[in-house]
Amino acid sequence: MSSCGNPATESDALMPRRPKFDKGKNCVKCKDAPGNIVIRHAVYCKACFFPLVAFKFRRALEPFVNPKPDGPRRTALKPAGNLLLGFSGGVGSTVLLDLVNRSYIVNQKAELRRDGGKDHPRHDKVWKRVIVCYVELGDALPRRKDKTAEIAEVVSHYEDVEFVPLRVQDAFDPSWWRRIYGDQALPQLRVSLENEELAAVLTNPPSTEPLGSLRSYLSSLPTPTAVASALQSLIRVLLLHTAVETKSSHLLLGTSLTSLAISLISGIGQGAGFNIEQEIQEEWVPDIQPASDSNGSEWLGGYQKGVRIIRPLRDVGLKECAFWAWWEKLQVVGEDRAGWPESRQDIGGLTKDFIMRLEKDYPSTVSTIVRTCAKLSPRGDVSGKCVLCERPAQEGVQEWKARISVRTTAQATDAVVLSSSSTPRTDDAAAAQLAPHLCYACHTTLTSRNARPPPPLFPSVSKESSVTLPAWVGPRMRRKVGEGEMKAAIQEFLLEE
């Protein structure tokens, strides 16, 4: 059978395939050496690659080191506190730790030996302490290997770097929470998942062990997407409160350009579009004063009481991070998600597969996603912080969901506001609705429904109608309102003098 195409057209006249590099095989930086890596159709040699990545790293970090961002101006770096690195064991966090060590630890020691005396102001450390924090997920997911010892070995190769290991069940441990905030962290909250109002009650002491509370919490979530989102939220808030404990003014995450694009698209798909600005860069302030600073130290004055979350590798792709780790022979422990068969079926897993394939064929598209999302700004006012993820919550979310959804009405009548003077006992605890205190994404995580329920994470853990929430939810529901906050709430009703 003959083809229906034009027989006069030559077969070689088809559209040629676009080359992987634009102009030539030599490095576009030095114009001389043959290239070793192609970054978005630009060729770089190995000698020019390392300064390029280091420049992108410092350009994304250093303008935001000082309490007041300096922008492009070059001034002395004087952060308000220490530095905390969130370490996952992946290639991004491994490269981040190596870059911090080269830029602010090893490099400063070399300058001290080469130029001037040790007491010269230019030789002061940028950060007095550099702490690496790793949150172990081995107990949260079935058949997952505990990698705390491997992570500790990687961190031990770097001098002047402290290691703080955590476990994800610490989020449900009152003793860990009390170590940071003292007696202000006594009550814990249990919430009913039977309806979307999420009726909550304070309990003291906790009804189960932290590990049992964690597994019950994860097993009661309705979808695999909710489980993955809950784990990410727990890790993030654990790192934030660890930054408070270590008096760190900056929290660095090893999120590469590729991972940031995945996180942005996945977050929008899960209803977290209102927090898209916080996904790129965020400044977080704790609501409760740490026990170690109860005497009113300077660290809690002004901006210094906040934590600035920065992703210094947001301009560095996953491919560049992999080449850096390969050429520098860095030990990458890796992030193991094996043993959880549903992890590939959630929104995050599907988004990751799509972005990875997209970056392979169209490498410039990933940076376009991040640049486009950086231009977006949320609509609507902020009604406070979500008590679960501690990110800004959009005003009027519950009213909007009530208009568009078929909802189950709570059995109880009007909710009673938790009073700071009430005694948090199980038998006479005050009831409250948790839903008004949640952002849209967290409310969806707890109340979304799936036509096909996911298989249980742990067969021995049954799905319960009420679960214990992380330790930071109860204190924030019962915290005392400050004078300034009360005045701001009634400002429109005050008469001018």
- 3-class SS string, 6-65: CCCCCHHHCCCCCCCCCCCCECCCCCCCECCEEECCEEECHHHHHHHHHHHHHHHHHHHC
Entry pTM: 0.83
Q: How far is CA 58 from CA 33, 87, 126, 251, 314, in A?
A: 25, 19, 13, 15, 11
State in Å, rounded, how far the first CA of the chain is from the last one: 94
Give me the mean pLDDT over the 410-436 stretch. 48
- Of 97 and 437, the one with more pLDDT: 97
Query: How far does Cα 426 stand from its chain's mean position?
Result: 33
Cβ proximity of 385 and 379 under 8 Å: no
Q: Comparing 175-179, 187-191, 248-252, 455-459, which segment has the lowest mean pLDDT?
A: 455-459
- SS3 label, residue 282: strand
Look at residue 337 in the predicted model and tell me its pLDDT.
Answer: 57
**How far is residue 380's CA from residue 455's CA, in Å, rounded to a whole number?**
38
Most confident of 41-50, 135-144, 393-402: 41-50
Look at residue 436 in the predicted model and tell me its pLDDT.
Answer: 87
**How far is residue 331's CA from residue 266's CA, in Å, rounded to a whole number?**
29
- Residue at 39: amino acid letter: I
**pLDDT for residue 256 is more than 90:** yes
Look at residue 349 in the predicted model and tell me its pLDDT.
Answer: 86
Give me the mean pLDDT over the 267-280 stretch. 89
**pLDDT for residue 4 is more than 80:** no
Give me the mean pLDDT over the 148-158 stretch. 94
Give me the mean pLDDT over the 186-214 stretch. 77
Q: Comparing 102-116, 310-324, 438-452, which segment has the lowest mean pLDDT?
A: 102-116
Give me the mean pLDDT over the 31-48 stretch. 90
In the chain, where are the structural domains located? Answer: 65-479
Q: Around Cβ 444, how many Cβ atoms within 10 Å?
A: 21
- Of 105 and 475, the one with more pLDDT: 105
**pLDDT for residue 412 is more than 50:** no
What is the Cα gyration radius of the chain?
A: 25
- SS3 label, residue 84: strand
Mean pLDDT across the chain, nearest whole number?
A: 79
**pLDDT for residue 204 is more than 70:** no
Instruction: List, for residues 171-196, the tens digit of each pLDDT value.
Output: 999 888 888 887 655 667 888 888 77
**How far is residue 59's CA from residue 71's CA, in Å, rounded to a whole number?**
10
* Nearest in space to 281 (alpha carbons), one of 316, 258, 313, 327: 313
**pLDDT for residue 38 is more than 50:** yes
Tokens describing residue 156: 């031990």
DSSP string covering 154-207, please? HHHTSTT-EEEEEEGGGGG-HHHHHHHHGGGG--EEEEE-SSTT-EEEEESS-S
- Of 109 and 131, the one with more pLDDT: 131
Look at residue 266 in the predicted model and tell me its pLDDT.
Answer: 93
Give me the mean pLDDT over the 335-347 stretch. 64
**How far is residue 117's CA from residue 123's CA, in Å, rounded to a whole number?**
8
Q: How confident is the model at residue 464 (pLDDT cuts 50, 70, 90)?
A: confident
Q: Comparing 45-49, 168-172, 375-379, 411-415, which segment has the lowest mean pLDDT?
A: 411-415
Look at residue 257 in the predicted model and tell me its pLDDT.
Answer: 94
CATH annotation of 65-479 = 3.40.50.620
Residues with Cβ within 8 Å of 24's Cβ and at least 6 positions away in sequence, in order, are: 43
